[in-house]
């Protein structure tokens, strides 16, 4: 299987051009290629496919082989892939995902994509649609007991489910212990991605993420959007937020009039190769 390894601020995936390659059993392949000792090493696998509804389709899998509906860092890399490899000449493209068609604006420098702005669509705050089990319509700063300690979560879906937790100290967080406890907590019937966030000022936050199916990653695009929305809803920040992640920064803007979230960030190619499956 021919592949390209790419990353969006350190959130790395193996990308396969399925206009040319056929991948049988993508869940199994995702586990195999993601292994950092016995595989290529990545947070998962992303297949770029032809689409009837959009210019291309993105089909994404986490490192444990589970399928994700949407990937914010991945979709910017798909945009870079299709433009840089000449699959399109368009600088405004549409990409179908399991959470609907997304629209992207590409910035080109010296003939290559340097930055991508993605219309991430409407954030979902309704608990039953995230899904989070709750007796409330929305989960805004609601207490939850995780491993005997009380945390306050704000629930947001950006096509995939997120629980946002505010903390004073995220640097010394034992994320390897607490991340899985959130991910598998009975309040989250589809598991959850959890963002641990420290607010720096009214337009800047820093976060770490424990991703459903992949563990701690250096960045999560949908997570950054969920954090921006949660921070605005909780009154911590205003409409435009810089989200600082371990692998770099993303700019997120929530247009409240249109109820649309826009995310802007870079995408990079690391290397190309071929792997025997």
Ligand X SMILES: N[C@@H](CCC[C@H](N)C(=O)O)C(=O)O
Q: Least distance to ligand X from the beta carbon of 143, Å?
A: 24
Catalytic annotation present for 220: yes
* Nearer of residues 72 and 121 to ligand X, judged by Cβ: 72
Q: Least distance to ligand X from the beta carbon of 18, Å?
A: 18
Q: Least distance to ligand X from the beta carbon of 276, Å?
A: 26
Q: Which residue has the tokens 């207490």?
A: 143
Q: Is 221 annotated as a binding residue?
A: yes
For residues 181 and 196, give the distance between their C-alpha atoms in angstroms, rounded to a whole number. Answer: 13
* Nearer of residues 150 and 226 to ligand X, judged by Cβ: 226
8 A C-beta contact, residue 162 and residue 222: yes
Catalytic residue among 18, 77, 220, 225: 220
Residues 6+ apart with CB under 8 A from 170: 196, 197, 198, 206, 207, 208
Q: Is 222 annotated as a binding residue?
A: yes
Q: Which residue has the tokens 């390659």?
A: 21
Q: Is 119 annotated as a binding residue?
A: no
Q: Least distance to ligand X from the beta carbon of 110, Å?
A: 26
Q: Which residue has the tokens 């990353």?
A: 7
Which residues here bind ligand X, judged by CB under 6 A?
Answer: 11, 62, 68, 71-74, 160, 193, 211-214, 217, 220-223
Q: Is 11 annotated as a binding residue?
A: yes
What's phi and psi for 228, nearest 5 deg? -60, -45
Catalytic annotation present for 18: no
For residues 226 and 244, give the distance between their C-alpha atoms in angstroms, rounded to a whole number. Answer: 13
Q: What is the chain's Cα-based Rg?
A: 18
8 A C-beta contact, residue 58 and residue 48: yes
Query: Residues annotated in the binding site for substrate, as ranges?
Result: 11, 62, 72-73, 160, 193, 211-212, 221-222
Residues involved in catalysis = 71, 220
Query: Residues annotated in the binding site, as ranges?
Result: 11, 62, 72-73, 160, 193, 211-212, 221-222
């Amino acid at each position: 299987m021919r592949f390209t390894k790419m990353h969006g601020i350190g959130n790395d995936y193996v990308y396969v051009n399925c206009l040319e390659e056929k991948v049988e059993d993508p869940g199994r392949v995702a586990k195999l290629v993601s292994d950092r000792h016995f595989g290529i090493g990545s947070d998962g696998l992303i297949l770029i496919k032809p689409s009837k509804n959009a210019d291309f389709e993105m089909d994404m899998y986490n490192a444990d082989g589970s399928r994700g509906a949407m990937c914010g860092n991945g979709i910017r890399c798909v945009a870079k892939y299709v433009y840089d490899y000449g699959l399109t000449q368009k600088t405004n493209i549409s990409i179908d995902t399991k959470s609907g068609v997304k629209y992207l604006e590409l910035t080109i420098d010296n003939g290559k994509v340097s930055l991508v702005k993605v219309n991430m669509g409407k954030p979902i705050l309704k608990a039953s649609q995230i899904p989070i089990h709750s007796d409330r319509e929305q989960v805004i700063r609601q207490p939850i007991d995780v491993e005997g300690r009380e945390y306050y979560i704000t629930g947001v879906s950006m096509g995939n489910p997120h629980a946002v937790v505010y903390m004073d100290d995220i640097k010394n967080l034992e994320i390897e212990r607490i991340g899985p406890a959130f991910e598998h907590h009975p309040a989250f019937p589809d598991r959850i991605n959890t963002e641990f966030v420290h607010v720096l000022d009214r337009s800047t936050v820093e976060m770490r993420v424990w991703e459903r199916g992949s563990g701690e990653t250096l960045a999560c695009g949908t997570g950054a959007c969920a954090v921006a929305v949660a921070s605005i809803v909780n009154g911590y920040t205003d409409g435009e937020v810089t989200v600082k992640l371990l692998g770099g920064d993303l700019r997120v803007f929530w247009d409240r009039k249109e109820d649309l979230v826009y995310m802007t960030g870079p995408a990079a190619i690391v290397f190309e190769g071929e792997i025997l499956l």
